[in-house]
């Protein structure tokens, strides 16, 4: 099982990372690639740029904890998570999650799970630049609800 977790300022190439995960493997039947991208507007106002602050050390540790949890829940054959930090503009990549498994259900579910947890538990904070000044993005209840459903799913198993 190949695991890659990286935090970086630089952009990433989603296609290359997905190819790297499955190259030479004959056991992988499904690869799911999710890319999170910076949008140019939020809640009715324009966003000209966004800066991602993070907690070095804890961000990597927290992502690793959730990748380990995903491996425990699903039969994964590979996982890559790349999260950028620093200043980004609309259209720029922010985060990449690639999951690989023999069959698609595990790859889809694990990618969904990892994104829900990245949104709520990974120590990053977004500072938006708007026409009228800067604004710290507030955490969304919908993200907390999305993450909570994975705990309910596990309780039901």
Partner 1 sequence: MSVKVLYFAWVRERVGKAEEEIAPPAHVATVADLIAWLAGRGEEYAHAFEKPKVIRAAIDRVHVKPEAAISGAREIAFFPPMTGG
Instruction: Summarize as ranges the residues that interact with partner 1 (CB under 8 A).
Output: 36, 52-55, 57-59, 61-62, 83, 94-95, 115, 118-127, 136-139
- Residue 29 vs 36, nearer CB to partner 1: 36
Contact 118, 37 (CB under 8 A): no
Q: State how far the Cα of 51 lies from the Cα of 85, in Å rounded to an integer.
A: 7
- Residue 28 vs 98, nearer CB to partner 1: 98
Nearest approach, Cβ of residue 92 and partner 1 (Å): 14
Helix (H, G, I), strand (E, B) or coil at 11: coil
- Residue 102 vs 147, nearer CB to partner 1: 147
Contact 94, 84 (CB under 8 A): yes
- Residue 20 vs 42, nearer CB to partner 1: 42
Looking only at the bridges linking them, the beta strands covering 41-42 and 133-136 are unpaired
- Residue reference for tokens 């980004």: 88
How many other CB atoms sit within 10 Å of the CB of residue 52? 20
């Amino acid at each position: 099982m190949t695991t890659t977790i990286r935090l970086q300022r630089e952009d990433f190439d989603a296609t290359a990372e997905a190819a790297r995960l499955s190259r030479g493997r004959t056991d992988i039947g499904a690869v799911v690639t999710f890319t999170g991208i910076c949008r140019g507007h939020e809640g009715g106002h324009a966003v000209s740029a966004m800066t991602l602050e993070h907690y070095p050390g804890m961000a990597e540790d927290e992502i690793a904890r959730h990748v380990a949890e995903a491996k425990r829940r699903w039969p994964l054959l590979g996982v890559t998570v790349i999260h950028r930090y620093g200043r980004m503009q609309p259209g720029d990549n922010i985060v990449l999650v690639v999951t690989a498994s023999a069959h698609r259900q595990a790859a889809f579910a694990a990618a969904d799970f990892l994104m829900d947890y990245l949104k709520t538990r990974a120590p990053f904070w977004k500072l938006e630049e708007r026409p009228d000044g800067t604004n710290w993005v507030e955490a969304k209840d919908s993200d907390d609800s999305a993450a909570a459903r994975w705990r309910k799913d596990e309780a039901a198993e």
